[in-house]
């Protein structure tokens, strides 16, 4: 496991006082080591979990050549330039194999999904045929080629081939695919455990009486929601007083139980509290100023677990402002936690949308504005900002369906310019 100094030495132009957003991601990618533990879970328990090993298919899917249509199965080598007339000698249904043989000039009525009778490779859909009087059908000329409307055995998944890959997050489609192989359980990485608490003497817990200068804790609730959506096991350690003993107890408890710790508040420059001092005392921690808005101050590192057999917990010391918490989570913590979970790197794809308004932006820092993406009259995507963009204004986040990402080198945006948007759907 690398120390923070070792990681810093590997990175080009690392400056903890002016780190780019990309620099943060690069640093975290080197800091975080995936939890290795695997467990086997039933398919219905596996939604959103990360596969710990490839799933090799024990079978062909579909298991037999079968019909893709309701129609008539026949030997396609008989197709020529003209019409083809065939005698219907029986019917085969899904779920049962046709037992008889089918000779030249003959066909079998077949239902979708039914096994192709031996020697037959082509299906003419019922609606394309003309029925002659005496139990014969006529297939019009030039309508079909041999092999049409037949699904091949193994065309979805071949036996012995990986059907799902290690590091995949199991989607509804993946659950269905695992089941289609006849596999009742899948190997997944154990859930990542994340402990979190809020700091600050001005922070009230729900149920506390309001008092002057104090605000209710919102960060624990957004962090809870973000972690839950990601499939983490959460350990809520509440609001922790700004006292060395309380902070030490919270960090020690968190590091003994969790793979990662998220705190909010107390990492700003000039902050006259004990949070930073305690992080330094209990672990290997760097304090950054990030070239971003909102966000800026952040602490990152590892807190010792107190157990030689367990690695320390990764620490994300987020700023206190509620919007900054969500933005730094989405930009940095989420990709790092996915890596901890053993998931393949998957940055959510950014959409391009036309900005409905001019946006002031300073080059040399990454800015995240809360935005609402909609479809314009011409069918293209457009985005507007959602009200007051202050880093404490959580309502701007509630009203948004995505984050407008204004990249490090980007300058002012004119109305009508394309901008990148990270959509929330599927992410939070």
- Name which of 282 and 324 has its Cβ closer to ligand AMP: 324
Minimum Å gap between C-beta 246 and ligand AMP is: 15
Minimum Å gap between C-beta 249 and ligand AMP is: 18
Which position has the token pair 């930073």? 276
Residues contacting Mg ion: total by CB under 5 A: 3
Q: How far is the CB of 407 from ligand AMP (least distance, A)?
A: 25
Of 217 and 284, which has the nearer Cβ to ligand AMP?
217
Where do contacts with ligand AMP occur on this chain (CB under 6 A)?
198, 200, 202-203, 215, 217-219, 264-266, 268, 271, 319-322, 392
Closer residue to ligand AMP in complex, CB, 155/202: 202
- Residue count of the chain, please give it: 428
Minimum distance, C-beta of residue 298 to ligand AMP, in the bound complex (Å): 10
Per CB under 5 A, 319 contacts Mg ion: no
| CB-based contacts of 198, cutoff 8 Å, min separation 6 | 217, 219, 220, 238, 239, 240, 263, 264, 265
Least CB distance to Mg ion at residue 243 (A) = 13
Q: Closest residue (Cβ) to ligand AMP?
A: 320
Q: Which is nearer to ligand AMP, 180 or 218 (CB)?
A: 218
Nearest distance from residue 273's CB to ligand AMP, in Å? Answer: 8
Enter the tokens of residue 56. Answer: 């090799």
Closest approach of ligand AMP to the CB of residue 277, in Å: 14
Identified binder of Mg ion from the candidate list 71, 117, 154, 265, rule CB under 5 A: 265
Work out the burial of residue 186: count CB atoms within 10 Å of its CB; fewer than 13 is exposed, 13-18 middle, 19 or more buried.
buried
Distance CA 91, CA 68 (A): 15
> For Mg ion, which stretch binds (CB under 5 A), given 224-232, 260-268, 292-300, 396-404?
260-268
CB of 247 to Mg ion, least distance (A): 12
Residues 6+ apart with CB under 8 A from 336: 28, 29, 31, 32, 260, 314, 316
Q: Quick one: what does residue 231 bind among Mg ion, ligand AMP, none, with the CB cut-off 5 to 8 Å set by partner type? A: none
Residue 200 within binding range of Mg ion, rule CB under 5 A: yes
Residue nearest to Mg ion (CB): 200
Residue 317 touches Mg ion, criterion: CB under 5 A: no
What are the structure tokens assigned to 77, written together? 């080598």
Rank residues 274 and 424 by Cβ distance to Mg ion and give the closer one: 274
Q: Which is nearer to Mg ion, 202 or 307 (CB)?
A: 202
- The nearer residue to Mg ion, 202 or 346, going by C-beta atoms, is 202
* Residue 264 touches which member of Mg ion, ligand AMP, none, C-beta under 5-8 Å by kind: ligand AMP
Nearer to Mg ion, 149 or 219 (CB): 219
φ, ψ at 388 (rounded to 5°): -55, 120
Q: Which residues bind Mg ion (CB under 5 A)?
A: 200, 265-266
């Amino acid at each position: 496991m690398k120390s923070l100094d070792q990681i810093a030495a590997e990175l080009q132009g690392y400056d903890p006082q002016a780190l780019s957003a990309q620099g943060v991601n690069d640093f975290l990618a080197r800091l975080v080591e995936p939890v290795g533990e695997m467990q086997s879970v039933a398919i219905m328990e596996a939604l959103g979990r990360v596969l710990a090993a490839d799933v090799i298919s024990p079978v062909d899917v579909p298991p037999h050549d079968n019909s893709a249509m309701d129609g008539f199965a026949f030997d396609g080598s008989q197709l020529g330039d003209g019409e083809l007339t065939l005698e219907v000698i029986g019917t085969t249904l899904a779920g049962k194999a046709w037992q008889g043989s089918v000779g030249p000039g003959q066909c079998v009525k077949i239902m979708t999904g039914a096994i192709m009778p031996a020697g037959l490779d082509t299906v003419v859909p019922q609606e394309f045929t003309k029925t002659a009087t005496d139990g014969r059908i006529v297939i019009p000329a030039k309508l079909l080629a041999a092999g049409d409307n037949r699904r091949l055995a193994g065309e979805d998944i071949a036996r012995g081939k990986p059907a799902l890959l290690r590091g995949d997050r199991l989607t509804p489609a993946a659950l269905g695919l695992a089941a289609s192989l006849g596999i009742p359980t899948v190997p997944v990485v154990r859930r990542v455990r994340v402990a979190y608490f809020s700091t600050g003497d001005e922070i009230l817990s729900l149920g506390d009486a309001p008092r002057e200068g104090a605000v209710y804790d919102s960060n624990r609730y957004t962090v809870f929601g973000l972690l839950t959506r990601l499939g983490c096991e959460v350990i809520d350690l509440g609001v922790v007083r700004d006292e060395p003993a309380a902070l030490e107890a919270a960090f020690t408890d968190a590091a003994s139980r969790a793979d990662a710790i998220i705190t909010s508040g107390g990492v700003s420059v000039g902050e006259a509290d004990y949070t930073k001092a305690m992080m330094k005392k209990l672990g290997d921690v760097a304090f950054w100023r990030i070239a971003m808005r909102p966000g800026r101050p952040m602490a990152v590192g590892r807190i010792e677990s107190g157990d030689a057999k367990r690695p320390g917990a990764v620490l994300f010391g987020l700023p206190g402002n509620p919007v900054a918490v969500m933005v730094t989570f989405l930009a940095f913590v989420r990709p790092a936690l996915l890596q901890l979970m053993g998931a393949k790197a998957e940055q959510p794809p950014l959409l391009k949308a036309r900005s409905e308004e001019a946006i002031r932006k300073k080059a040399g820092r990454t800015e995240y504005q809360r935005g609402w993406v909609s479809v314009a009259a011409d069918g293209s995507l457009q985005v507007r900002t959602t009200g007051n963009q202050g880093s404490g204004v959580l309502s701007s986040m509630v009203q948004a369906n995505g984050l407008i990402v204004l990249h490090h080198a980007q300058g002012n945006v004119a109305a009508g310019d394309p901008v990148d948007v990270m959509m929330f759907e599927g992410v939070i």
